[in-house]
Chains A and B, each alone.
Chain A
Amino acid sequence: MGGGEMTADELLAKAEKKMTTTLTRWKPDYESAMLYFDEAATKLKQAGRKQEAMIAWEKCAEANERTGNDWHAGKHLEQCASLARDLALHDQVVAYAERACAAYVSAGRAQRGAECLGKIARLIDEAAPDEAYDLASRACEMLEDDGKAANARDFYSLAGAIRMRQEKFADAAETMLRFGASCDAANAHASLRKAYLSAVVAQLYAGNGAEAQQLYADVGEIDAFQDSDEQRCAYSLISAYRDADADAVRSAIAASNALTFLDAPFARAARKLPRPGHDLRAVSIAMGGDGGVLAAGERFMDGIGGGGGGDSDLPDDEDLT
């Protein structure tokens, strides 16, 4: 089987021949074809002919599937996916990733399939973020279904980072919530606390104070989150937003170390709170607060300017003396 001196094209030709039947050979010789394709693809990749290497590996994977060698088929399809990513063919990357995952699952290695999806999601996270997010989410779901939620941590972080980079903060918060639920299943308490704090930070960064408050109310009952630094930090941030007090927000961020230990996108977002473009008063009112000191002052001024508004809270003219 020594093809050491043959060129890649010769190896390809030999491999193609092995895949067909002849008079002397009534069944295709998939094992030899597989070896020839593998060697040819390696040489083509070294020569920089990535498109052809990708096709060679795909055929190698096909030969593997025919012989029932799904594990190796999955590995070769992963190689195809990484070459497709080098060639910037994102649709093909996703297609190869799915095929590789299906091959691993047929080989009885669902965890490996999920990790393959996650690995490929990481490769395309900047070039094709939506597809990468879908792959990462599916990887997490597969691992959770298989009872291996503990291994989904990296993929959840990746999914959250993708959404933060895309500035889809509500989606990022939801991803972190799912991450928290996954950590709860895996008894990973430290990660759970960080996940929930990240979700609160993401919602506040998006200006959804009411949603952040509701999120805090929902997760505040969870045992692993109660009485933690992360819960205290979340409470102080939400209270500061409810009071529409920008200084209180900044001092809560400065006083808390928990925010520095979050994943990079969330830690960076937390440092920028409160965002200059946000109307703290409106957020506070949406949260059920009173809009803060400035709002109270404005109401007072409106009351004086409006005259006989009949509002019992406003002082009468006699009282101003």
Chain B
Amino acid sequence: MANSADIILRSQGLLKKYEHYLPDEKPMAPVTGKVDGFTTMFSSLQFNLKDLIAKAEEIKAEKNKAAIATANAEIRRGKNYLRGELPKLRKMMEKKMRGLTDEEKEERVSQVDNFEYQIECVPDGVNKAPPKAPKPRGAGNDAGGGTGGGARRHVTINMEDLEKGEGVSMEHSKESRAFRDEFEEAKQRQDEGLDEISKGLSVLKNLGGEMDDEIKRQTPILDVIDEKLDSTTSEMRTANGKLKKVITSMRSTRNFCVDVILIFLILGIAMFFFNSFG
């Protein structure tokens, strides 16, 4: 029963076993031909860059946005790593300049500059534009608004406008002030209550989401259990049938009668011999 993990493990085992037969994969060899610390470091960094470029190529064909996001993040990480290694490479280059001709020195400098340019050219989906705002919630009605009855008419009550535009000719009396204060207090209590409800609802929403995910996870498991139980039931039925056949063949009524008659026969013969010699 092959599965992908089994195949991967076995192929890894085979690769390990026959590793020494594999050709040595030399990354892009340096042009100068002189091998020192700089060339080793440079070739390993070029190897990393090749991997990044290959990953960027793979993303182009990818349609799944989540996979693109993950791959972009990995590429950005790889690029940041290479950018961090560039100063070390330049330092190594400075150190190993002794014994080289001017042409070779220039060659190395241009290789490193070209390498830096190649790093920056790898596409990673970066742009410094401001983040895209999410769509506003609902139809954009203010708090306390109401919607009209018909399909086209929307009646909205804008509380802020009401508060702003108090009657110009109205003057506050003692009662109206008291009523106003009571109104503000009630509004505040209502707001607090609504906040509590909102918190409770968000907890419920979170629970609902978790339950949804869990049910999605367990549905295929239940399907598998269902299949296995079906096959077990049919096997049990077969086994029961066979058992019944075996028991019937061992303890059928016909055999029982034959056994009883034979026993009587033997007893009769024994009595006869007992009587004749007794």
Which of B24-32, B42-50, B115-123, B209-217 sits within the interface? Answer: B209-217
Q: What 1/0 flags go to B18-54 for Cβ under 8 Å of A?
A: 0000000000000000000000000000000000000
Asked if B131 and A190 sit within 8 Å, CB to CB, the answer is: no
Supposing A142-B5, A239-B131, A288-B128 touch, asked if A180 and B217 sit within 8 A by C-beta, the answer is: no
Which B residues lie within 8 Å of A257 (CB)?
Answer: 198-199, 202-203, 206
Q: How far is the CA of A239 from the CA of B129 in the complex (A)?
A: 12
**Residue ID in chain B nearest A261 by CB atoms:** B206
Task: Determine whether the beta carbon of A217 is less than 8 Å from that of B131.
Answer: yes
Name the CB-closest residue of A to B199: A257
> For residues 194 through 243 of chain A, which have their beta carbon under 8 Å from a beta carbon of chain B?
210-211, 213-223, 226-227, 229, 231-232, 235, 238-239, 242
Residues of B within 8 A of A288 (CB): 128-130
Distance A119 CA – B1 CA, assembled complex (angstroms): 25
Are A189 and B209 in touch, CB under 8 angstroms?
A: yes
Does A68 belong to the interface (CB within 8 Å)?
no
Question: A178-B70, A217-B127 known; A190 and B202 CB under 8 Å?
Answer: no
B contact patch SS: helix
Q: Are B66 and A184 in contact (CB under 8 A)?
A: yes
State whether B130 touches A180 (Cβ < 8 A). no
B66 CB contact (under 8 Å) in A213, A222, A289: A222
Decide: B213 and A218 in contact? CB cutoff 8 A. Answer: no
CB of A51 closer than 8 Å to a CB of B: no
Give chain B interface residues in 66-80, CB to chain A under 8 Å: 66-70, 72-74, 76-77
Determine whether B169 belongs to the interface, using a CB cutoff of 8 Å to chain A. no
Q: Which chain B residue lies CB-closest to A256? A: B202
Q: Which of B125, B216, B217 contacts A218 (CB 8 A)?
A: B125
Q: How far is the CA of A211 from the CA of B125 in the complex (A)?
A: 11
Q: Are B65 and A191 in contact (CB under 8 A)?
A: no
Residues of B within 8 A of A185 (CB): 66
Whether B131 lies near A238 (C-beta < 8 A) is: yes
Indicate if the CB atoms of A214 and B126 lie closer than 8 Å.
Answer: yes
- Bound CA–CA A222/B69 (angstroms): 9
Interface size of B by CB at 8 A reads 43
The yes or no answer to A60 lying at the interface (CB within 8 A) is no
The winner among B8, B74, B131, B213 for most chain A CB atoms within 10 A is B131
- A190's contact among B5, B132, B209, by CB below 8 Å, is which? B209
Closest Cβ neighbor of A210 among chain B residues: B128
B135 and A187 contact, CB distance less than 8 A: no
Chain A 150-179 interface 0/1 with B at a Cβ cutoff of 8 Å (1 = within) = 110100000000000000001001100110
Q: Which of A190, A214, A226 contacts B134 (CB 8 A)?
A: A226
- The answer to whether B132 touches A217, judged by C-beta atoms less than 8 angstroms apart, is yes
Q: Which of A114, A151, A217, A231 is close to B217, meaning CB atoms less than 8 Å apart?
A: A151
A105 within 8 A of B: yes
**When the two chains form the complex, which single residue of B73, B135, B203, B216 contacts A188, counting CB atoms closer than 8 Å?**
B216
| Cβ contacts A to B, 7 pairs, < 8 Å | A146-B3, A173-B73, A181-B67, A190-B213, A210-B128, A217-B131, A229-B205
> Contacts A219-B65, A222-B69 given; 5 further ones with Cβ under 8 A?
A150-B220, A178-B70, A190-B209, A211-B76, A215-B73
